A = this chain, B = another copy of it.
Amino acid sequence: MRADIISIGTELLLGQITDTNAPYIAAELPLLGIDLYWITQVGDNRARILEALGRALDRSEVVICTGGLGPTEDDVTREAIAELLGEDMHVDPALEEWLRRLFKGFGLEMPDCNIKQANLIPSAEAIPNSRGTAPGWWVEREGKVIAALPGPPDEMQFMWQNSVKPRLRLSPGQGVIVSRTLKTLGFSEARVNEMVREYLCSSNPTLGIYAKLDGIHLRLTAKAGSRAEAEEAITLVEARLKDLFGRYIWGYDEDTLETLVGSLLREKKLNLAVMESCTGGLLASTITDVPGSSEYFKGGLVTYSAEMKAAFGVDAGMLARVGTVHPDVAVAMAGAARAKLGADIGIGITGVAGPSEVEGKPVGTVHIAVDVRGDASSLSLRLPPRRIDVKRRAVFSALFMLRQRLL
């Protein structure tokens, strides 16, 4: 079975918003055995929506469109579908009743323009929207389907999951696409390229290299007649990559460093405290993004000056001697965090996030220390000089370092 996705909205064509609806749906289709060959973005223009819909319906059995279901004159997705199928729209009494009740519930009078959201055509049934005023349309004619969903992602996703996806049955005997991502940290992109060189020209599985803030990701994608065959093709190459990268592979697919580190700390019944300078609280915030992190995270200190570092236990003499950006200071910060907050493990980070150098040290200089019950190790990095990215990369490096110490 083939699908087309059409994302509708002038704001997409003006670059005011990025379309996240199409990739969301696209990621779900391979698991339904549905092939997606085309995504089209078009503005709120009836003629062009009509053209896009017509082309999509010619070549695919399923057309999923998002957007253009709002109450204003600009929103013409319904009108375009009706025109394509040569059917007339009418206000559906049950939908109108639902809409009026919805507005009443908010204590509002329904604006006149909203009545169009109660429109249907004979081939369409309404897809309920529990998060907004725009019902979707499920249109079935001559064995083909058009599903029209509203543009706001939370409404679209809910309706996709609950009303559209369950009706698109898995079509048997189709090719299946399976992907696996291996996440590495510690090698440069050029070095990774060199290490995996022999696989770069391979076509099944293909190997993609993606430089991310939490390291270099290697994505294997295989297409085969069955899930088992595709997985086998991936597993063969994956085993080779595991030999090559060893412990520099820190996770797979949806894994995050903060979640993996959290599980290790919980498992080993250890707790953690941090003292951060250039990351400005981002390390603590990333650790506490994990539900239940209060079990192992004691707390954090953001010491944004030499004076503040000294106030929380870093030796003032050392700071006067070596400055604030130095591996020894990172070690002292890790130790001070442990001592001050009474934790098993302390992490210290100091460096230069930019945009200007500090104490003669260039932007991107970062020193990280991990102190496990008094046994400290440190790592010095020189990261690309973009402030927000220096913060993020430093945080991921600290978590990676902690993971290596815990394993």
Contact = CB atoms under 8 A, between A and B. Distances in A.
A280 B291 contact: no
Interface stretch (A42-50, A89-97, A235-243): A42-50
Contacts of A106: 190, 194
Contact of A302 (B10, B45, B302, B305): B302
A146 interface: no
A197 B111 contact: yes
Contacts of A25: 15
Contact of A305 (B201, B281, B299): B299
A116 to B, nearest CB: 10
A303 B111 CA distance: 48
A177 interface: yes
B12 A39 contact: yes
Interface string A183-202: 00000001001100100111
A302 B289 contact: no
Interface in A1-21: 10-20
Given A38-B41, A281-B288, A12 B23 contact: yes
Nearest to A112: B201
A397 to B, nearest CB: 16
Number of copies: 2
A37 B48 contact: yes
A59 to B, nearest CB: 10
Interface stretch (A66-74, A118-126, A368-376): A66-74
Interface residues of A, number: 86
B299 A284 contact: no
Contacts of A42: 37-39
Contacts of A130: none
A28 interface: yes
B298 A301 contact: no
Contact of A28 (B15, B281, B341): B15
Contacts of A294: 304-305
12 contacts: A14-B177, A19-B19, A73-B201, A74-B203, A284-B284, A284-B285, A288-B302, A288-B391, A291-B387, A294-B305, A298-B304, A299-B305
Interface of A: 10-20, 22-30, 36-43, 45, 48, 71-74, 106, 108, 111-113, 177, 179, 190, 193-194, 197, 200-203, 206, 208, 219, 221, 274, 276, 279-285, 287-289, 291, 293-294, 297-305, 308, 311, 341, 353-355, 387-388, 391
Given A37-B42, A279-B285, A288-B302, 7 more contacts: A11-B208, A14-B177, A17-B23, A280-B297, A285-B285, A288-B353, A289-B387
